[in-house]
A and B are shown apart, each in its own frame.
Chain A
Amino acid sequence: MKFFGKTKIDFIGKRRIAFAISSVIILAGIVSLVINQGPKYSIDFTGGVSMELELTPVAEGAQIIKVQEIRDALTNAGIEDAEIQEIKGKEGKQLVLIKTQAVGEMKDKTSTKVIDVIKQQFPDNVDPETLIRLQEEVGPKIGEELKGKAILAIFWALLGIILYIWWRFELTFGLAAVAALFHDVLITVGIFSLLGKEISLSIVAALLTIVGYSLNDTIVVFDRIREDLKLYRKESYGSVINYSINETLSRTIITSLTTFVVVLCLYIFGGSVIHDFAFALLVGVVVGTYSSIFVASPLMVEHFNKKEKKLGSRTKKKK
């Protein structure tokens, strides 16, 4: 079976269109980021409380609790501005998501306070065995540290990649690859901002995974370009690179497809905990594949064309 025979799609010729599309999407993300004053960070980075509680009625005649009732109870106990959200669980379970800044120092243990209030006010809906599904409280200090660590991690990953590609190819390949990675990360973060999704610790992990995946994809194309540039010395850079993209197209699509399918499974069946993580990967697989073809490789064409202008045509030089 074969999806593609020999293709001769002119990717390089259409690179300006691709650049425009990328710019528009990135710009939309940046505008959203500016309006929202940066990404929406989760409590991993800001510090605070996040919990998922099960409040399915247990006592006879118990009612489903309204969000407003919970809000009132918490406000009375001095926990104001809590973000409360109802989610439908499996088998009619009533689940509630509560997020709030930590009140005072962690010594006061806001999360424990929330639990106490809920137990006190809604005893008919509390089964102590299953009440707490998720309870997270992060001190502001830890949040700041994690933010610093996340930025450092991305920095080291990118540096490591540039150095490796520099060693295996040449510096420009490394820079083009990293430019494509920036493209992928910017688009993913932008989409998260547009959809109002939070950037948590696991989303940073997803971003780094996207970096790894997109790079994997880019390297396979670059590897072909490196090979073909030696093979077809008389062709122009643009047409050799275009040829390389076409040659690897079938592999690019198949690998993206299998990866996309498994990540889709993770997104659909993987459960609430992993949902946003899987979503980031879904975006990443699509954007990462796109960027290897439409960003990284065309950037190399741009680079070679500039070099050619400076040093004279490669086809002439080789004669």
Chain B
Amino acid sequence: MRNRKIRGLIILVVLLVTAYYFLPMVVPNLPSFWTTKRLKLGLDLQGGSQIQLEVDFTNSELSDKEREDAIKTAYEIIRNRIDQFGVAEPLIQRVANTNRIIIQLPGLKDPSRAKNLIGKTAMLEFKFVASSEQMQETYEAMDKFLQENIEKYEFMSEFVDADETEEVVDVLGSDEETDDESYENAMIFTDLTTSEEGMPLQIDYKHIAKLKSLLMDPEFVKNVPTGLQISLGKENKDDPYSARNIYILHKNAEITGTSLENAITKIGQGYTAKDKGPYIMLEFKKSGAKKFKNITGQNIGERLAIILDDIVFMAPTIESRIPDGQARITGNFTIEECHDLVIVLNAGSLPAPVNIIEERTVGPTLGSDSIKAGIMAALIGMIAVILFMMVYYKLSGLFADIAVTVNVAFIVAVMTMLEGTLTMPGIAGMILTIGMAVDANVIIFERIREYLAAGKTIRSAVDSGFNRALVTILDANITTLITALVLYQFGTGPIKGFAVTLSIGIVGSMFASIVLVKAIFDGLITNSAKDKLSI
């Protein structure tokens, strides 16, 4: 009798806890002492983006400690950027023991802006544009290099044959004549670009990928004349297929982002294209302002390029000394673009480049479609199973149905309590559990039927049915639990959700069918003197 009291107490506690966490799902306006926890929906149900980043150390020689610091800094900077981006409840997590960061942005409909924002190293640099002689020298050097190594750069071969009979076109319009025979038919690099009235040189949209490949090739970069670099200009947002500028710059940065105090977006009120529209105002720190004053003062007439993440945003000619430590970046900006650039400039530059290695976005329409579909499938499946059990096992089937219903509420309650997230695979796991949850009861009921058929009394048939079935149920469920645990270990996001609901469902179904249903049976048998069991 004491055992029964303990059992009753356990059932009561489980039911109360289940009700405490489950009811808010279905009943609005609960008294204030009720839990405020709600079951969170995964990104696949509410819509949003998940982006996984990797801090890239391939080109750096940092010690383990420095790497760890770099990852921490990257994490902080990205968090700052995301916070200012303005998404409700973003989640930013480091993946333990890796150089990876996972970002979840609920409700985002198009991830491209966020990706841009996150991926920017935000390396701000000011570099001088090379002289025309240096440009000429660079083009010749690169033409020669490609001519000699053309077999390594097969994607450039379309520029080889076309040149053979062509005369040397002096791209920079200088008077210099070249006698170099080998150079005469080797303008592979120069032909990649187009010159319009001398400077600046441009590159057609269709060739940009080739230039990028060249610039990423260490061998190619090594052969650029000492102290110089080749850089690509900013793309035109209004016409992404238009040609882009190509610049030859001095490698040495005169000023970098570390001298920056603040950046803000401003809207130009002028009438010319240059003065109209949004631009970025840079304000240097004291030391930076001094440097900037000196540099501009000493180099009037030179072109100073403003570079962000290796992309040249503009390269204006210095017209006068700039004393107040302020600089403007103008250009074909959209207001969003300006806003995002200001965010990254102010959050600081990343200690190492980050690469997006995985991204998954679910739009709000697909998300809500999934929820509706999931609830529909769960309801119909549940009703089918409940009806079947009542028809097949009559009153006992009804008890099993109570167990199934309690189990579903139990899964939701435990997920809420653990602050878990419900995903589409999670709903699938729950639906599967509905089907499998009745299994324990089926095993028990079949045993009881057998014992009744063998002539046992109701009391003893029920007792031995439950006792004997217990071993089977434990063995069968523990093996399923093993696979669920493995799934949890191996899974990423949604699959983890599936494993969690499945595991909770298995534990819940064992409790419901072995403890709860047994208690109902016991109550029924003790309180009535029936000689027939409805099973």
Of B432, B486, B502, the residue contacting A153 (CB under 8 A) is B486
Shortest beta-carbon distance, A67 to chain B, in Å?
20
Measured between beta carbons, the chain B residues less than 8 angstroms from A115 are: 110, 112
Contact: A268 with B363, CB < 8 Å?
no
Closest to A143 in B: B358
Measured between beta carbons, the chain B residues less than 8 angstroms from A133 are: 362-363, 365-366
Q: With the chains together, A1 CA to B396 CA distance in Å?
A: 12
Interface residue A262 (Cβ < 8 Å from any Cβ of B): yes
Interface residue B125 (Cβ < 8 Å from any Cβ of A): no
Contact: A258 with B365, CB < 8 Å?
no
A54-B365, A142-B357, A258-B435 known; A209-B483 Cβ under 8 A: yes
Contact: A219 with B476, CB < 8 Å?
yes
Interface residue A319 (Cβ < 8 Å from any Cβ of B): no
Contact: B502 with A269, CB < 8 Å?
no
Contact: A202 with B483, CB < 8 Å?
no
Contact: B486 with A156, CB < 8 Å?
yes
Of A54, A105, A153, A156, the residue contacting B355 (CB under 8 A) is A105
Interface residues of A in 282-306 (CB under 8 A from B): none
Contact: A255 with B357, CB < 8 Å?
no
Q: With the chains together, A130 CA to B427 CA distance in Å?
A: 24
Q: With the chains together, A258 CA to B364 CA distance in Å?
A: 33
A131-B110, A271-B370, A274-B428 known; A215-B479 Cβ under 8 A: yes
Measured between beta carbons, the chain A residues less than 8 angstroms from B482 are: 157, 160-161, 164, 212
Measured between beta carbons, the chain A residues less than 8 angstroms from B351 are: none
Interface residue B384 (Cβ < 8 Å from any Cβ of A): yes
Shortest beta-carbon distance, B398 to chain A, in Å?
13
Bitwise interface map of B from 476 to 504 toward A, beta carbon under 8 Å scored 1, else 0: 11111011111101111011001100100
Of B378, B475, B490, the residue contacting A168 (CB under 8 A) is B475
Contact: B377 with A265, CB < 8 Å?
yes
Of the listed stretches A9-17, A57-65, A106-114, chain B binds A106-114
* Interface residue count on the A side (C-beta < 8 Å): 84
Measured between beta carbons, the chain A residues less than 8 angstroms from B377 are: 265-266, 268-271
Q: With the chains together, A260 CA to B434 CA distance in Å?
A: 11
Contact: A137 with B358, CB < 8 Å?
yes
Measured between beta carbons, the chain B residues less than 8 angstroms from A281 are: 432
A105-B355, A132-B109, A202-B425 known; A219-B472 Cβ under 8 A: yes
Interface residue B446 (Cβ < 8 Å from any Cβ of A): yes
Contact: B110 with A132, CB < 8 Å?
yes
Q: With the chains together, A112 CA to B428 CA distance in Å?
A: 31
Contact: B385 with A261, CB < 8 Å?
yes
Measured between beta carbons, the chain A residues less than 8 angstroms from B438 are: 255, 258
Shortest beta-carbon distance, A211 to chain B, in Å?
5
Contact: B479 with A219, CB < 8 Å?
yes
Shortest beta-carbon distance, A110 to chain B, in Å?
11
Q: With the chains together, A68 CA to B449 CA distance in Å?
A: 64
Shortest beta-carbon distance, B455 to chain A, in Å?
15
Contact: B432 with A136, CB < 8 Å?
no
Interface residue B374 (Cβ < 8 Å from any Cβ of A): yes
Q: With the chains together, A205 CA to B492 CA distance in Å?
A: 11
Contact: B425 with A277, CB < 8 Å?
yes
Contact: B112 with A262, CB < 8 Å?
no
Contact: A161 with B483, CB < 8 Å?
yes
A205-B487, A270-B373, A274-B428 known; A216-B480 Cβ under 8 A: yes
Shortest beta-carbon distance, A81 to chain B, in Å?
16
Contact: A274 with B491, CB < 8 Å?
no
Of B359, B381, B431, the residue contacting A135 (CB under 8 A) is B359
Contact: B490 with A153, CB < 8 Å?
yes
Measured between beta carbons, the chain B residues less than 8 angstroms from A212 are: 479-480, 482-484, 502
Shortest beta-carbon distance, A101 to chain B, in Å?
15
Q: Quick one: which of A130, A213, A258 has the most chain B CB within 10 A?
A: A258
Bitwise interface map of B from 412 to 438 toward A, beta carbon under 8 Å scored 1, else 0: 000000000000110110011011101
Contact: A202 with B112, CB < 8 Å?
no
Interface residues of A in 236-264 (CB under 8 A from B): 247-248, 250-251, 254-255, 257-264
Q: With the chains together, A135 CA to B449 CA distance in Å?
A: 53
Contact: A109 with B112, CB < 8 Å?
yes
Bitwise interface map of A from 212 to 233 toward B, beta carbon under 8 Å scored 1, else 0: 1101110110011000000000
Interface residue A116 (Cβ < 8 Å from any Cβ of B): yes
Contact: B479 with A209, CB < 8 Å?
no
Q: With the chains together, A156 CA to B489 CA distance in Å?
A: 10
Interface residue A139 (Cβ < 8 Å from any Cβ of B): yes
Shortest beta-carbon distance, B144 to chain A, in Å?
27
Q: Quick one: which of B206, B364, B482 has the most chain A CB within 10 A?
A: B482
Q: With the chains together, A120 CA to B477 CA distance in Å?
A: 55
Interface residues of B in 367-413 (CB under 8 A from A): 369-370, 372-374, 376-378, 380-382, 384-385, 388-389, 391-394
Closest 9 CB pairs between A and B? A271-B373, A153-B490, A259-B435, A262-B381, A265-B381, A262-B435, A212-B483, A139-B357, A212-B480
Contact sample, A vs B, 20 pairs, CB 8 Å cutoff: A104-B209, A109-B112, A115-B112, A120-B240, A131-B363, A135-B360, A135-B363, A136-B361, A137-B360, A139-B355, A164-B479, A215-B480, A216-B477, A219-B475, A251-B446, A254-B446, A258-B435, A271-B369, A274-B428, A281-B432
Given contacts A115-B110, A212-B480, A261-B384, 11 further A-B contacts (CB under 8 A): A104-B209, A134-B361, A208-B486, A216-B476, A251-B446, A254-B392, A262-B385, A263-B432, A270-B431, A273-B44, A274-B424
